[in-house]
Structure 1
Amino acid sequence: MAVLRITPNLACEDPTGMAAFYRHLFDLDIAMNMEFIVTMEPGTATRQPPQVSVLSEGGSGTPVPALSIEVDDLDRVITRCRLRGIAIDYGPVEEPWGVRRIYLRDPAGHLVNVLTHK
């Protein structure tokens, strides 16, 4: 058996509004919109193997995030957060395991770890 995809499912009251948050912050495209569910994906044809992380904390004593998003330009995300008034809960910080990251919360309150490898 081969796992083909792993998809996080984030509960919210307004999937379309939540999709707009992720689209504007991370340049994600809408792959499917059925009103009760909006699925998004990167516009580029990057393919990464499916991953599931299981953890007791978020690292450096932080809470466990609901979602981790790796980006190629963390400063661009930080700028977009500031322009939209999105609070950064943690960071930016360079962690001893080789990532630079921030924590933010999406409109439904989910904790999101946004990172780039150094």
Structure 2
Amino acid sequence: MKVKRIVANFYTEQTEAAKQFYQEILGLDILMDLGWITTYGSQEKMDVQISFMSEGGNSTEVPDISIEVDDVEEALNRMKEAGFSIEYGPADEPWGVRRFFVRDPFNKLVNILTHKPR
């Protein structure tokens, strides 16, 4: 048996509230919308990963989800322009990523990152 996909599921009564953060700012597509569930995603091929953490790194809070982007500065600017408060960073971490933390409309702590070139 092989795991093919891992999906994060967040409870909300207002599924439409995800549109600005996940579709308009981060550029994800709506893959499915049944009213009671809206799934955002990308056709980009990704590794299957799940992390278990005692802290978020550099003594930060553990984020609910991590999203890797190709341009962390653009993501940061879009979040600020949309009025989302940056809770950590941007920071260049010693393990090779540049990242920032932001809360989504559901109060989930989102780690937005990019791997720095070696």
TM range (shorter): over 0.9
SS in 2 for 1:20: helix
Whether 2:27 is the aligned partner of 1:21: answer no
CA distance in 2, matches of 1:17, 1:35: 12
Q: Which of 65, 87, 92 is the equivalent residue of 1:94?
A: 92
Structure 2 unaligned spans of 5+: none
Q: Across the two proteins, how many residue pairs are aligned to each other?
A: 116
Counterpart-to-counterpart distance in 2, 1:19 and 1:57: 29
Q: TM-score w.r.t. structure 1 length? A: 0.94
Question: What is the identity percentage for the equivalent residue pairs of Structure 1 and Structure 2?
Answer: 45
Q: Which residue of structure 2 lines up, in the alignment, with residue 112 of structure 1?
A: 110
- What TM-score does the superposition give when structure 2 sets the normalisation length? 0.94
Moved more, 46-55 or 68-77: 46-55
- In the other structure, the counterpart of 2:54 is 56
Q: Give the conservation status (yes or no) of the 8 Å contact 1:71–1:115.
A: yes
Q: Flag structure 1 segments of 5+ consecutive residues without an equivalent.
A: none
Aligned counterpart, 1:5: 5
Over the aligned positions, Cα root-mean-square deviation in angstroms equals: 1.0
CA distance in 2, matches of 1:68, 1:79: 18
What's the offset of the Cα at 1:13?
A: 2.3
